[in-house]
Amino acid sequence: APGDPDRILVTYSNYGLANNIFLSTDGGDTWAGCEGNDVLNNLPDMPVRWGIFNPDNHEQAMIATQLGVWTTEKLDGNNTVWIPPMPGRGTPLVRTDMLQYRMSDKIVLAATYGRGMFTTDVFADPTARLGETPQVHYVHSPLLFQGQYSLNADDYFWDFGDGTTSTEENVFHEYDE
């Protein structure tokens, strides 16, 4: 549970280890490796330098590694599946040394070696955002609604206010008046 002092995540920064990530749910009395296994997409043999829980769901975690920031939806021992970074839509595949979480706006800062710092709001509540569109728009001219700018969206429902809707991530809509 969030705020549970008995739930501890420990990382090792080294090559050649069977596990670089360990989880304790009993304050450190027992530990379970959480790197996954060969069948379920485990991590490459690389240093894991930092780990944090999702502050709202301690089953989820984010780690700073030699190859960027990886995440998991469920810490589950050898069944843990780590999701790699998505260059172009996330952090690059670059050595990442530290993660810091800011509670006020749920922003996570990732400090890299040689590529600067990156931020994400991946732990924030889902929020709808319009994409890069002009502030002034004209009648009978298609307006692009871009869902990829929405935060943590699992699906999309656009209500254009004129009786039409869409469930597409990105959609053009034209207003008559």
Look up residue 154 and give its two tokens. 């699992």
* Selection from 42, 96, 24, 67 nearest residue 108 by Cα: 96
Contact 38, 80 (CB under 8 A): no
Q: Looking at the domain covering 125-177, what would its CATH class be? A: mainly beta
Token pair listed for 124: 């924030």
Q: How far apart are CA 51 and CA 8, in angstroms?
A: 10
**DSSP code of residue 42:** P
Confidence of residue 121 (pLDDT cuts 50, 70, 90): confident
Mean pLDDT, residues 72-87 taken together: 88
Whether this model's pTM surpasses 0.85: no
Q: Are 6 and 27 in contact (CB under 8 A)?
A: yes
| C-alpha torsion angle, residues 165, 170, 172, 175 (rounded to 10) | 40
Higher pLDDT, 2 or 132: 2
Which one has a higher pLDDT value, 57 or 133? 57
Virtual torsion, Cα 48, 18, 77, 53, nearest 10 deg: -10
Query: Which pLDDT does position 4 carry in this prediction?
Result: 87
